[in-house]
Amino acid sequence: MSRQTITMIDYGGSNLRSAQKAFEYVGADVVVTADPDTVRRAEKLVLPGVGAFGAGMAAIRQRGLEPAIKEATIKGIPLLGICLGMQYLFDSSEEMGHYNGLGLVGGRVRRFDFDGGPKTEDEDSSLRPPSAVRRLKIPHMGWNQIEATRRSRLLAGIAAGSYAYFVHSYYCDPDAETAVLARTDYGHPFAAIVAQDNIYGIQFHPEKSQAVGLRILQNYVEL
């Protein structure tokens, strides 16, 4: 089998190197580019991301990458968004205001919002509702389980309840349940992986998720 080429979109606001190394580890050639025409000609696209949604989308638009990404996906070129890159796929985000995303997956990016407040020292935890005994911290950071909602080649070889590594304060809330490929629970269930036609998104960091994350990246390369 010939090596697949992954085109990784560089908009100047993300840490590309770790994702690049992970794809190379699973056998892909990686082209890192900020050139819209290279994006349009790609075999497979990856949109990584760390940082703030609004600033990232502004950088994507300033470089003329938004129309190139949309034209590529309309032609059927696969696109994988990773972490904040998954959030860019959605219609909008409420992170520090309201910002429009790429609109490739219907839905909104929302902030984790947990009630209950911290427990005081003299409070009897047995008298409190279970959900209020321990206030969940934001960001959601660390290892958590992913549960597939349906079968997909992207999740080939991934066992139910596998652990992945998350770092995020906002989560994706798709309009259509059919867009959700896997869920994770942190106070409530949320979309850990989305898949809609040739559009894919992973909320956790696959490059930090050991064998599970590498297998998912390999599956994407081999789609």
- Catalytic hit among 43, 66, 83, 177: 83
HEC letters along the chain: CCCCEEEEECCCCCCHHHHHHHHHHCCCEEEEECCHHHHHCCCEEEECCCCCHHHHHHHHHHCCHHHHHHHHHHCCCCEEEECHHHHHCEEEECCCCCEECCCCEEEEEEECCCCCCCCCCCCCHHHCCHHHHCCCCCCEEEEEEEEECCCCHHHCCCCCCEEEEEEECEEEEECCHHHEEEEEECCCEEEEEEEECCEEEECCCHHHCHHHHHHHHHHHHCC
205 is known as an active-site residue? yes
- Catalytic hit among 66, 95, 168, 207: 207
- Catalytic hit among 66, 95, 168, 205: 205
83 is known as an active-site residue? yes
The residues annotated as belonging to the active site are 83, 205, 207
